[in-house]
A = this chain, B = another copy of it.
Amino acid sequence: MIHPTQTTSSFIGVDVYSPILRAALVKGDGSVLERRQAALDSDASVSPQVERLVTELRDAAGATPVIGIGLGIPGLIDPQTNRIVIASDLPAVLRGDLGAELQRATKLPAVLVNDANAAAYGEYMVGAGRGSRNMFYVTIGSGVGGALILDGKLWLGATGFAGEFGHITIDPEGNECVCGNRGCLETVAAAPNIVRRTHERLNRDSTSSLSRLALNRNFTATDIAREARTGDDFALMMIERTGKFIGTAVAVVINLLNIERIVFGGGVMEAGELILNPIAIEAKRRSFQPCFEATQLVAATLGADAVPVGAALLARDTTQKSVP
């Protein structure tokens, strides 16, 4: 057997996400050799769809042996069983045993991990988390998630579900959340909720460039960020208010964990400083000063590679552990 620490070996990481499945062939040092992507049909069996990308990447790998597969899943994973417990956006994966099916089909070990955990590990190993030992990762995209690296290791918690940053209550009287609570951060800061809040206010303000955009098509959080960058006051206010909500939850992490670094990733963070600044201002206002001063707030650097790279590196570590 080839030892996985050989620099010539590689791993496949997959972001199992609807509507786009993203896979990467990743070297043991975290560098990406090849990328593949395909549309994901979230109602159909997921394993064969992933398998096709794995096959393509193994072909691309040529003589470089592929040692294992890591799968980033938008849901809760039980680390004991390697099975999905909850994945509301992927109904089909709950019907089967994705890890086992993929292992049978590819003859490679396949480890499942929550996608925020995967992204956090990617950023920690080769992205914006490098050089820290303790890091919190925040992802603001179609959902809001978090993950925790403590003393250089992914902190999974008692049953594998740690890091549910999106379900921190930031307004006790706020909107109902899918989780059953009220006023979770996700109810205001996830991309679809930013869009909803913007629409609600837009009815009262027709001077924004977003009003004109709304006449033609549904706009997205990315549109709001772009209009904010080009100087639209209203769009900027929406981004800033969103940053303020996120900052309230970030202060909680700073106060509880006195954490060295917080890395911000996910689609909404493409707004860059426009959103990172109000996050920092609110986090500072709402956290204990000595804790705030000890924390670096930085933007993620891996972009869409974060989940595949992190998942591949977790597959690397799992495989290495099981090698005698």
Report chain B residues within 8 Å CB of A289. Answer: 179-180
Within 58-108 of A, Cβ neighbours of B (below 8 Å) are at 76, 85-86
Within 139-157 of A, Cβ neighbours of B (below 8 Å) are at 146, 148, 150, 155-157
Complex alpha-carbon distance, A158 and B256, angstroms? 11
Contact B258 A159 (CB under 8 A): yes
| A: contact size bracket | 35 or more
Say how far A273's CB is from chain B's closest CB, in angstroms.
Answer: 23
Complex alpha-carbon distance, A237 and B294, angstroms? 39
Contact B252 A291 (CB under 8 A): no
Per-residue interface assignment for chain A, residues 153 to 184, with 1 indicating a CB less than 8 Å from any chain B CB and 0 otherwise: 00111111111110111111000000111100
* Oligomer copy total: 2
Evaluate whether A255 and B295 lie within 8 angstroms (CB atoms) in the complex, with A150-B150, A155-B150 already known.
no
Chain A: residues with CB nearer than 8 A to chain B? 76, 85-86, 134, 146, 148, 150, 155-165, 167-172, 179-182, 248, 251-253, 255-260, 285-291, 294-295
Beyond A157-B257, A158-B260, A158-B294, list 16 extra A-B contacts (CB 8 Å): A76-B290, A86-B290, A148-B256, A157-B258, A158-B258, A159-B291, A161-B291, A162-B257, A163-B258, A164-B288, A164-B291, A169-B286, A170-B172, A172-B248, A182-B286, A252-B252
A-B contact pairs, 14 of them (CB 8 A): A155-B257, A157-B291, A159-B291, A161-B258, A161-B288, A162-B257, A162-B258, A164-B258, A164-B291, A167-B255, A167-B288, A169-B251, A170-B172, A252-B256
